Each structure stands twice: as C-alpha cells, then as structure tokens.
Amino acid sequence: MKPKTPSGLPVSREEIRPIYPVHGLPASQELALKTRPAHGLHVLITGGAGFIGSNLAEYHLHKGDKVHVVDDLSTGALSNVEAFLSHPHFRFSQADILVWDDLNKAVTWADRIYHMAAVVGVHKVLAEPIHCLSTNIAGCERVLRAASANGWKPQIVIPSTAEVYGEAHTSGGALPSEAVDFTGFREDAELVVGSTAIKRWNYPVSKITNEAMGLSYGQAFGMEVLVARLFNSVGPRQTGRYGMVLPRFVKQAVAGEPITVYGDGTQTRSFCDVRDTVALLDALASELGNAGEIINVGNNREISIHALARLVKELAQSASPIAFVPYRVAYGEGNVETYRRKPDLTKLLAHTAYRHQWTLEATVQDLIERERANMEDARLVAWRPDDARVFQECMVS
C-alpha cells in the first residue's frame, strides 16, 4: 500500500533514481564517481511546498529534472504540490528540516539543493520571533553540514532577502529623498540592521547568518554555494495570509472589499514574477562561475503601493474602495517600514543571459483570473442541496 500523508493523500512514487549504490561500488567510491548530469538533475527543495519552493518544483519537473520536496507544511501547503504528487519524477516528504531523519540520504541523492525552508512574512516573523530564528538559522546549518559531510558535494542555493539591506530607506534609518535618484540596493553595500530588541529584525538577522554560513561552508568544503537575495516575488500560489501585499490586494479587489493600503501608500516595492525568479535561480546556479557569489534576484521596476492598489483595482474592474490603514494598526508595535525596496540588477544581468519575461501588468492580470477561477471553484464546492434545486429550476425556465 502506498504511504499516506496526514491529509490522506498518497506520497508520490519512489521512481526517482535510487540513492546508492549506482555502480555497485562501496558508497565512498560511488560518491567520488558521482558527477552532475547536464539533464535530469536531482533537485532537493527544502520548504518546497511554499510559494517559491513549489514554483521551483514545477519549473524543474517541466524541465525534465527529478524533484524531492521536503516541507513540514507549517507555512507551505500540500495543495501547492498536490498537482505533482502523481508525477513519476516527484517525491514529497513531510518533515521538519530541523529533525528530518532522511536528510543525509536526500543530500547525497541531490545534485542541487534549494534551501527554501524558512519562516517568512512580516506577520509570521512578528508573531513567532524565536521560531523564525531557530528554523532559519539551525535549519540552514543542518542542511549545509549534511551536504559537506561526504564526498559528493551538491550545489546549494541559499535564498536570502532584500531585508538584509536593513535600515537603509526605513522609518528607522535614512529616509528616502525624492531628490535622490535611487538606483537600487547593491550587493556590496554595508548591511546595517536595526536593534535586536525590535523583533522585526529577526528575519534579516537570520538571513544574514545564512549568507555567511553558506559562503563559509562553501569555502571550507569546496562546495558550490550561491546566495540569492530575493526581492518581493509575486505570482501563483502566493498567499496573503502572512501579510504579502499583492495576493491580498487581488483577493480584496475581486471580492469587492476595500483594498487595504498600509501607511499613505507612497512606500515603493519592485515586484518580480515568481516564474522569472525561479528561472533566474536556475540560470544562475547552472553557471559554475557563480558559486560563492551574492546576487540580487528580482525586478527593478519600482511602484508605489498606492499605485499598485490602483493597478489591481483597474485591471480587476473592481468597485473596491482604497482604504488607508495606519502601520500601527496593521502591524501593531514592533514593525519598521521599509519605504523603498529596489534591487540594483547590474550584477544579476552580468551573471546570466536570462531576461525577465513577465511585466507587472501581466502578472496582476494572471492573478486576477486565477482568483476568479478559485472563487468559482469554491462557490461550486459550497453548494447545498437547496442550491441544486434552484439551479435545476433555472435550467428548466
């Protein structure tokens, strides 16, 4: 009988290449012989049932690679990977990365690891500050340690975040000046985060630690480690539950509810479609020369949050009012707002030939259509017998 996940869904088939032995040699010699294939890469994605992780899984399956996702489903959702469970090249393990028994086997199997397992999202980070630090720091080290422990060294992509740019352009640091032409955060900038007494900084502190750890393990053990500083990815499967702005605006606009702009809406962000994000990560990791680099990954088109609300409202042809909510009401105490967040992409564009395929308008339009389809599905599922009778009567008349 196939094993079941707690939700009763079958775990995918074990048709991924058996781990070892491959050539019938002792494991230590097998590892020495192992080489990274050009096609049919073995991809391990920790946190692969989350937003970016599940898009990475989809991307690599589509490319013909084999994908193993491990996720404890704390912020990720089984529904994000449900469509892949029956794929012969997909495997899912529900486990906490801090205690996962099969980690050593999985990293030995992997040609590439995307370590996406992390506590993210402003609301979640403020609500669970210790969980954020322990999962993000100890989880990352556990993966690096396992990967460094034997002869075969998989590539490792460590996702970092624009949040590491810290206090620059925040309400706690230097405020933006309209007169200053902001070309974006550069990878070689000094990183200055705020006081550790403010919970909000736990997230960038954890990610700066991940960066330093990843690069140090890479140097010490001769591993290919790439640090990607991700800037506001948006797209399918992103949930607004933990505060992310675009899925919230789309849901509100489609439902005809007020679109909640925090602050006065003049703060800006630069949004990158997740389908570009994952293609960029793959393109960067595929270039051997990028190992040991820290590279911004995102899109550099800047838009104010008020303008984003107007764009969503317009494309959804929604009658929703735009409501301004004070930051204090939105986040409570302990938050520090970043007024401008834009990547300098000079390094990214020099390190890969991939170019963005998605405009913000196309992404927003796509998300509106998906939200409408979801609402329609939910409406059908919510049918009661009474509804069926009404429907029959409609058909008759």
- Catalytic site positions: 203
Options 66-74, 167-175, 260-268, 286-294: segment touching ligand UDP (CB under 6 A): 260-268
The helices-and-strands tally (H runs, E runs) of the chain is: 15, 13
Options 125-133, 209-217, 239-247, 279-287: segment touching ligand UDP (CB under 6 A): 239-247
Nearer to ligand UDP, 103 or 309 (CB): 309
Options 53-61, 105-113, 259-267, 314-322: segment touching ligand UDP (CB under 6 A): 259-267
Q: In which residue are the tokens 């605006």 written?
A: 249
Paired tokens of 32: 């020495």
Q: In which residue are the tokens 């370590």 written?
A: 115
**Residue 313 in the binding site for ligand UDP (CB under 6 A):** no
- Rounded CA-CA distance 83/58 in Å is 9
Choosing from 156, 164, 245, 280, the residue that interacts with ligand UDP (CB under 6 A) is: 245
Q: How many residues bind ligand UDP (CB under 6 A)?
A: 14
Q: In which residue are the tokens 């933990």 written?
A: 242
| Minimum distance, C-beta of residue 329 to ligand UDP, in the bound complex (Å) | 11
**Residue 171 in the binding site for ligand UDP (CB under 6 A):** no
| Sign for the pseudo-dihedral over CA of 119, 92, 279, 347 | positive
**Residue 193 in the binding site for ligand UDP (CB under 6 A):** no
| Minimum distance, C-beta of residue 339 to ligand UDP, in the bound complex (Å) | 8
| Minimum distance, C-beta of residue 114 to ligand UDP, in the bound complex (Å) | 20
Binding track over 330-369 against ligand UDP, x by CB under 6 A: -------x---x----------------------------
Nearer to ligand UDP, 90 or 185 (CB): 185
Nearer to ligand UDP, 114 or 262 (CB): 262
> Per this entry, what is the length of the chain?
397
Nearer to ligand UDP, 69 or 126 (CB): 126
**Residue 248 in the binding site for ligand UDP (CB under 6 A):** yes
- Rounded CA-CA distance 294/283 in Å is 14
Contacts by 73-78 with C-beta closer than 8 Å and gap 24+? 73/49, 74/119, 75/50, 75/119, 75/120, 75/121, 75/124, 75/242, 76/47, 76/48, 76/49, 76/50, 76/51, 77/49, 77/239, 78/5, 78/7, 78/9, 78/49
CB 159 within 8 A of CB 52: yes
Choosing from 261, 272, 281, 295, the residue that interacts with ligand UDP (CB under 6 A) is: 261
Binding track over 17-56 against ligand UDP, x by CB under 6 A: ----------------------------------------
- Name the phi and psi angles at 70, rounded to 5: -120, 135
The DSSP bridge pattern shows strands 268-269 and 303-304 to be: antiparallel
Choosing from 143, 208, 213, 244, the residue that interacts with ligand UDP (CB under 6 A) is: 244
- Name the phi and psi angles at 155, rounded to 5: -70, 145
**Residue 61 in the binding site for ligand UDP (CB under 6 A):** no
Choosing from 269, 275, 347, 356, the residue that interacts with ligand UDP (CB under 6 A) is: 269
**Residue 150 in the binding site for ligand UDP (CB under 6 A):** no
- Rounded CA-CA distance 171/344 in Å is 21
| Rg, the chain, Cα only | 22
Nearer to ligand UDP, 333 or 386 (CB): 333
8-state DSSP, 18: P
Nearer to ligand UDP, 218 or 247 (CB): 247
